[in-house]
Structure 1
Amino acid sequence: MSTNPKVKPINDIRSYIAALEAQGVMHRVKAEVDWKFELAHVSKVNEEQKGPALLYENVKGHTIPVFTSAFTTPERIAICLEQDPSLTMCQLSRKWMELTTKQMIKPTFVKNPPVMENIIPEEAVDLENFPAPWFYPDDGGRFFGTSGYLVTQDPDTGWTNLGTYRSQILGKNILGSQIISGKHGDFHMKKYQERGEKMPVAYVVGGDPILFLASSTLVSAQTDEYDVGGALRGRPIEVFKSDLTGLTLPANAEIIVEGWMDPEELMEEGPFGEYTGYYSGNKMKDYPKPVIRVKRIIHRTKPIFWSTTVGKPINDTHMVQSINRTATLWHDLETMKVPGIQSVYFPAAATGRFWVIASVKQMYPGHSNHVADAINGSTTGHYGVKGIIIVDHDIAADDMDRVWWALATRFDPKRSVQVINRGRSTPLDPGLPIEARDVVSRIIMDATTPYEWKNKPNEIFMDRAVLQKVSDRWNEYGFSGVSPVAEMIPRLTRPEVKKK
């Protein structure tokens, strides 16, 4: 159920766009824009300025509009989650954690799904009839999927996985797919490979945006992302069973490409300007990719093509990784029964992946180390993280000014640093040599005042009564609008001691 009274329930990309327009954070580009470079460049410049979501209504050579910049501000992520648009990333992630620790909600199967309104048979398939952008000059071509996800299924258990694997157009009926080793889609593919069978797959573009968030989330094996999406929505996701592949697919998707993937058939794919800000995957010898042989495309009438620019921070990809990794890490720590957690945060500016900050109310000596060790061993934190920063409870994990202050005033390199030599890495980490990206070292930076210190530094605080006076007279001073003092009191004044 929506907690934002201005937002109607969101079940597809169309209702999400309507919600963005209702909040005044959507812009329709009516001028003709070229899908090759221009569209991505306009979007990237807009995102650098923290501009609105964009809907390109006149893409050169196409009648299908393209939607970009869907999640580049916390406000738009909040709207997607049907939450208060004023919530911060830490606050939104806490909502996510609370919803997903209650109960997963299974999807509901429907008849006559909207995505089946139009069917393009195998002999008529031509992927270039869709306005897939060519993003950057050194990319290997047009990418059909950057904000889409691949649907696969475990042939033994029926577990359905939604995975955000990029997908390049390699031919009129061939899509590349970057399924990184160790990902859940890779688990499924290896099972089909052992059987000597082709794997049924579907690539989804558009639909309920909650599924894109869920598909890029690090969840445990045997967990369906449809269930995660349902928990976040507070209601079942609508799905249907494909009569072609037998896969469970989202009913309200805009476009679904269906076909089979032969684990033995590999092709050269890329390069592609990744979320790290660097290119990846340009040589067959470096990382050959499996491909989808397309058997049909189904789509809604007048479909909307959803894309994201990727590249250097901050864009949709970084914000998505930030919110879902922050939320799932909080979920991990909650289920691990780690006490005292106040907030956690994967900064979007750090690609939403490689660095994490946690705020803790210390209760015993070594508590901050307990938190760092738990992050390192969690489902979310064990993969790709190379830096962990721990701060005291008076600092929100996403308050970067205060995090820097803590590193300046509560941190001693000799006392506060631990280096872990071996951790699981990602092949997309450009900080490691391309031939050795399986393992990464990690640093823990403890920016807390040690709990056991008897004589702690005397911190400066402001007077609550005087601040209240300032708040009351805010407009008398010539400032316009509502006084900001109320929300600043927790970080400017001494914490109140609760009377027993």
Structure 2
Amino acid sequence: MYQRTLPPFPTLGVFLEYLKAQGELETIDAPVSMYLEITELHRRVIATHGPALCLAKAQDRQGNKAQMPVVANLFGTPSRVAAGLGTDIEGLKGLGQMLAWLRSPQPPQSLREAHSLLPAARSALQARPRKTARPRKWRDLDPDFSLLPVQTCWPGDAGPLITWPVVITRPPGADDPASYNLGIYRMQVMDRDRAILRWLPMRGGAAHHRLWQSRGEDMPVAVVIGADPATMLGAVMPAPEGVSELALAGMIANRRASIAPCATIPLHVPASAEIILEGTVSPTEVALEGPFGDHTGYYNEAESYPVFTLKRLCLRDQAHYLTTFTGRAPDEPSVLGITLLEVFKPLLRQAIPEIIDIWMPPEACSYRIAVISIAKTYAGQARRVMMGFWALLPQFSMTKTIIVVDDDIDIRCWADVMWAVSTRMDAARDLLVIDRTPVDPLDFASPLEGLGGKMGLDATRKIGTETRRNWPDGLVMDASIAEQVTSRWHEFFPSDI
């Protein structure tokens, strides 16, 4: 089970100090433009698994210096994502086990098992957020988006884009933090006090908005730019049913999440927030959003989304503005996807126990292709795994292609995977094609927006009623011969090769 092994990071600033001490933060004193230049800088750094960046002299397109430092590439490596979750890469498995247990808790069967569940039980006690007074380090500014160093990522973008906003919404009724949804939805800045919120229909923010629309009322919305890492990562992780993102953040941080009241809307926000935008979203007003460069490597088409009206802008003393870009991998979303896959695995195995491992290549837009290895024991098992995977989590319903292989295949080695596809799959028998299923609306290969096909490739050895032919034995060298050649290697090649 998950146990936090790193010190607490109550704010983004504390986390940055930790990264600096680990040699994982680089401060850049040279001027960097928030118009395109920062994207190119970030692209080159993340491609080399480089450090997080703190831009001391960020500038707008006209060369005006920003009022605050800008942080980019914060979660640009798996190790920094794991650190934000309070652990290392190996510890992510324990976090996934805790989430799987919370999804379907089982009573312990022995004293040893009960002892192993203690960390999960302690974490569950951190689930309820704690309300606090408004921090004294917060100060109000004019509600003006131009005061923020908002990034323009790509030459063809429709305008500046807030790329790392934690958007907080709730349903109508009492202000109950247990009902909050925290999501990352990009925001196109339109003018001084208006921005467009892009949320897809299946997201929590969009579901809340539909409830407010049915009442014909403005929806209160708070946006946080920069917070403690547990809150930011909790907003992008798959919280178990009945566990809010704030509760998940408390479990990760090993302390109850502190939330403070907004001044102009009936909502609370994390007390760790660097920048807070308080406002409302109209039940009727929409505006054309985009086009913007996206994770597909293309510009998405312009579409209409709800308009956010800014009522209040609040900054923490010495606040940092957090930003990123989205494009073809590697980018931060792809790194987050690779890393959090380790957290998903226990949830997958809980639902589909025969799964041994899973790999979602970042080159395939992080989630559009999944390679899954299984311990196969009966005919038709690969298809069962495909159907279960697509139905398990909303994120997995966006996966277009699943390749299922046996557990002797290295799923991260494309040569191994292609060998399995070419030698263990018959196109007529082992290809599963499904039409008109939910897909990423940004997938321009689909014939209809949001609806497209899925493909499953059964590249496992065929058993039972799957085939009438005997499956041949694989080629494996005698172990003694392999050891003999290894021991004589320098005899064969004295100069080494």
Regarding TM over 0.5, the answer is yes
Deviation readout 1:97-134 (Å, 9 max, x if unpaired):
212123354143142454x623325xx22211111111
1:39-438 alignment runs, 5 A limit: 39-60=38-59, 61-85=65-89, 87=90, 92=92, 94-103=93-102, 104=124, 105-112=126-133, 114=135, 117-120=137-140, 124-144=142-162, 146-156=163-173, 158=176, 159-219=179-239, 223-282=243-302, 287-324=303-340, 327-328=343-344, 330-336=345-351, 338-380=352-394, 383-395=397-409, 397-433=411-447, 436-438=448-450
Q: Separation in 1 of the partners of 2:269 and 2:282?
A: 20
Shift of 1:397: 4.2
- 1:120–1:296 contact (8 Å) kept in structure 2: yes
Shift of 1:252: 0.7
Structure-2 change in CA distance of 1:108 and 1:181 (3 Å): closer
396-405 or 127-136, larger mean C-alpha shift: 396-405
Amino acid paired to 2:21: A
Unpaired runs of at least 5, structure 2: 60-64, 103-123
Deviation readout 1:386-433 (Å, 9 max, x if unpaired):
111112223454444533343344333333211111211222212225
Q: Which residue of 1 aligns with 2:111?
A: none
Q: Separation in 2 of the partners of 1:345 and 1:169?
A: 36
Q: Separation in 2 of the partners of 1:8 and 1:2?
A: 15
Shift of 1:162: 0.8
Q: Separation in 2 of the partners of 1:26 and 1:326?
A: 24
Q: Separation in 1 of the partners of 2:2 and 2:354?
A: 29
Q: Which residue of 2 aligns with 1:439?
A: 451
Q: Which residue of 1 aligns with 2:108?
A: none
Secondary structure in 2 matching 1:171: coil
225-234 or 74-83, larger mean C-alpha shift: 225-234
Shift of 1:74: 1.9
Q: Which residue of 1 aligns with 2:28?
A: 29
Q: Separation in 1 of the partners of 2:252 and 2:411?
A: 22
- 1:198–1:260 contact (8 Å) kept in structure 2: yes
Q: Separation in 1 of the partners of 2:220 and 2:355?
A: 42
Unpaired runs of at least 5, structure 1: 480-500
Q: Which residue of 2 aligns with 1:488?
A: none
- 1:218–1:380 contact (8 Å) kept in structure 2: no
Deviation readout 1:237-288 (Å, 9 max, x if unpaired):
3323334322232111211101111121112222211122111243xxxx21
Q: Which residue of 1 aligns with 2:120?
A: none
Deviation readout 1:439-464 (Å, 9 max, x if unpaired):
11000012222244754432436849
- 2:134–2:261 contact (8 Å) kept in structure 1: no
Structure-2 change in CA distance of 1:151 and 1:253 (3 Å): same
- 1:170–1:269 contact (8 Å) kept in structure 2: no
Q: Separation in 2 of the partners of 1:347 and 1:321?
A: 9
Q: What is the aligned residue count?
A: 458
Q: Separation in 2 of the partners of 1:202 and 1:238?
A: 15
Structure-2 change in CA distance of 1:441 and 1:10 (3 Å): same
Structure-2 change in CA distance of 1:407 and 1:80 (3 Å): farther
Structure-2 change in CA distance of 1:334 and 1:380 (3 Å): farther
Q: Separation in 1 of the partners of 2:171 and 2:480?
A: 59
Asked if residue 460 in structure 1 is aligned to residue 459 in structure 2, the reply is no
Shift of 1:63: 3.3
TM-score normalised by structure 2 residue count:
0.83
Deviation readout 1:124-183 (Å, 9 max, x if unpaired):
222111111111111111112x12221000125841101111011111111211022222
Shift of 1:344: 2.0
Q: Separation in 2 of the partners of 1:185 and 1:467?
A: 60
Shift of 1:26: 2.3
Q: Identity percentage over the alignment?
A: 26
Structure-2 change in CA distance of 1:381 and 1:201 (3 Å): closer
- 1:46–1:52 contact (8 Å) kept in structure 2: yes
Deviation readout 1:301-331 (Å, 9 max, x if unpaired):
1111111111111110122234446644x35
- 1:261–1:291 contact (8 Å) kept in structure 2: yes
Structure-2 change in CA distance of 1:54 and 1:401 (3 Å): farther
166-175 or 204-213, larger mean C-alpha shift: 204-213
Q: Separation in 1 of the partners of 2:223 and 2:161?
A: 12
Report the RMSD for the aligned CA atoms in angstroms.
3.0
- 1:358–1:389 contact (8 Å) kept in structure 2: yes
- 2:82–2:339 contact (8 Å) kept in structure 1: no
Shift of 1:8: 2.6
Q: Which residue of 1 aligns with 2:117?
A: none
Q: Which residue of 2 aligns with 1:494?
A: none
Secondary structure in 2 matching 1:207: coil
Shift of 1:294: 0.9
Amino acid paired to 2:157: D
Q: Separation in 2 of the partners of 1:348 and 1:229?
A: 26
Secondary structure in 2 matching 1:279: coil
Q: Which residue of 2 aligns with 1:495?
A: none
Structure-2 change in CA distance of 1:262 and 1:42 (3 Å): same
